[in-house]
């Protein structure tokens, strides 16, 4: 079956509509699991509520999904939005997240992840091997995600399990049980396949036992200090995650600053909320006017007036309530 041609350049969307925003909300608030990748742009997803159903999403020009919402209106559904926002980590208002389809070059950019905020690469530690020949669990980093639900492991308070015989990486126990149901493994001695390295993950019996005892296990996020804002990068200096006081723009979508970048007068045209620990709610900042404000240049460690501070003699400086 031939796919309809994608939108012309003149028809490209420039703003996030209310309808698409609602679909994105549905995507981010639904429990959706990635069961299988069918090539670089095909994905098999599962929803378990209100009933267990599988959906096939293909990115292209245009994007395609077999759900009733897409088939009825040929508009972006929550499953396509989930792939764009969760799998590929697009900001909600990114140009690629607004379109009915993407051109070949845009798909390549999406696959390369050029839009993502990345922390500096760290050398991986030598993998430890247990006495029985299985691998030890790798340490969970700030950017590590569960490859099935695409949630940051240190952000979501769910216990994890790990690949014993392939890569040592972690996924949520609940997610691995859902994947086991899809792999249709019935024998408790049978081996599950790792969703990351495709090698043997662990026997089904181990996953079932971990699932039964998961309420007693400590989630990975609970081991991290509360001053680390897990899953949140600084949009200016790329620190990931932000540590200490975290500032969030009230007008932009998912725009955060660390304390140093906030003090350096970055992004001062908008108002901010803040929190000091990740278990706290966001608090508003009150405004105080100043005649002159000088900004600290973090590279030279000297005080100088930055361009965004020179635009107005009087501007709004933010102070914690």
Q: Would you give the DSSP letter of residue 217?
A: S
**Contact of 228 with 241, CB cutoff 8 Å:** yes
Q: In whole angstroms, how far apart are CA 235 and each of 42, 52, 280?
A: 30, 37, 21
**Of residues 227 and 3, which shows the higher confidence score?**
227
User: CA–CA separation, 73 vs 245, rounded Å?
Assistant: 44
Q: Would you give the DSSP letter of residue 3?
A: P
User: CA–CA separation, 264 vs 304, rounded Å?
Assistant: 10
Residues 168-184: b if buried by 16+ CB within 10 A, e if exposed: bbbbbbbbbbbbbeebe
Question: Mean pLDDT across the stretch 68-84?
Answer: 95
**What pLDDT digit, counting tens, does each position of 288-297 carry?**
433 333 343 3
Backbone angles phi, psi at 316, to 5 degrees: -90, 120
Handedness of CA 12, 14, 19, 25 (dihedral sign): positive
Q: What is the reported pLDDT for 137?
A: 86
User: CA–CA separation, 169 vs 146, rounded Å?
Assistant: 9
Q: What is the reported pLDDT for 37?
A: 94
Tell me the two tokens of residue 120: 């500096």
Lowest mean pLDDT, pick from 6-15, 67-76, 135-144, 170-179: 6-15
User: CA–CA separation, 90 vs 115, rounded Å?
Assistant: 7
Q: Which position has the token pair 């995600």?
A: 145
Q: Would you give the DSSP letter of residue 186?
A: -
Q: What is the reported pLDDT for 297?
A: 38
**Contact of 228 with 276, CB cutoff 8 Å:** no
**Contact of 71 with 80, CB cutoff 8 Å:** no
What is the H or E stretch that residue 310 is in?
Answer: helix 307-310
Of 79, 199, 83, 55, nearest in space to 150 by CA: 83
**What pLDDT digit, counting tens, does each position of 155-202 carry?**
777 889 999 988 999 999 999 999 998 887 777 778 999 999 989 999
Residue 289 backbone zone (phi > 0: left; psi -120 to 50: alpha; other: beta):
beta
Give the model's confidence band at 308: pLDDT under 50 very low, under 70 low, under 90 confident, else very high: very low
Tell me the two tokens of residue 228: 């680390």
Q: What is the reported pLDDT for 36?
A: 94
> Strand, coil or helix: what is 171?
strand
User: CA–CA separation, 145 vs 47, rounded Å?
Assistant: 19
What is the residue-averaged pLDDT of the chain?
A: 80
Q: What is the reported pLDDT for 64?
A: 97
User: CA–CA separation, 110 vs 102, rounded Å?
Assistant: 9
Handedness of CA 162, 164, 165, 169 (dihedral sign): positive
In degrees, rounded to 5, the angle at the alpha carbon of residue 76 between the alpha carbons of residues 51 and 28 is 55
What is the H or E stretch that residue 262 is in?
Answer: helix 259-263
């Amino acid at each position: 079956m031939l796919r309809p041609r994608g939108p012309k350049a003149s028809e490209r969307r420039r703003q996030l509509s209310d309808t698409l925003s609602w679909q994105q909300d549905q995507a981010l608030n639904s429990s959706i699991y990635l069961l299988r990748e069918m090539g670089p742009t095909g994905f098999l997803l599962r929803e378990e509520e209100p009933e267990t159903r599988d959906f096939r999403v293909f990115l292209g020009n245009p994007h395609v999904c077999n759900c009733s919402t897409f088939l009825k209106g040929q508009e972006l559904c929550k499953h396509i939005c989930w792939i764009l926002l969760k799998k590929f980590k697009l900001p909600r208002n990114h140009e690629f997240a607004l379109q009915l389809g993407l051109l070949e070059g845009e798909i390549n950019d999406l696959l390369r992840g050029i839009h993502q905020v990345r922390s500096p690469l760290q050398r991986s530690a030598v993998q430890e091997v247990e006495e029985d020949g299985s691998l030890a669990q790798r340490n969970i980093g700030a950017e590590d995600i569960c490859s099935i639900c695409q949630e940051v492991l240190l952000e979501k308070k769910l216990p994890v399990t790990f690949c014993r015989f392939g890569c040592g990486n972690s996924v949520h126990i609940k997610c691995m049980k859902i994947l086991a149901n899809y792999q249709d493994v019935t024998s408790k001695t049978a081996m599950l396949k790792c969703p990351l390295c495709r090698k043997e993950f662990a026997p089904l019996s181990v996953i079932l036992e971990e699932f039964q005892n998961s309420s007693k296990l400590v989630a990975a996020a609970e081991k991290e200090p509360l001053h680390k804002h897990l899953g949140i990068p600084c949009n200016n200096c790329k620190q990931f995650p932000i540590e200490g006081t975290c500032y969030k723009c009230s007008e932009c979508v998912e725009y955060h600053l660390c304390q140093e970048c906030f003090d350096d007068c970055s992004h001062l045209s908008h108002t901010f909320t803040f929190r000091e620990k990740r278990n706290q709610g966001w608090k508003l900042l009150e405004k105080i006017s100043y005649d002159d404000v000088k900004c600290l240049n973090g590279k030279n460690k000297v005080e100088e007036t930055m361009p965004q501070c020179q635009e107005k003699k009087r501007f709004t400086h933010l102070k914690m309530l």
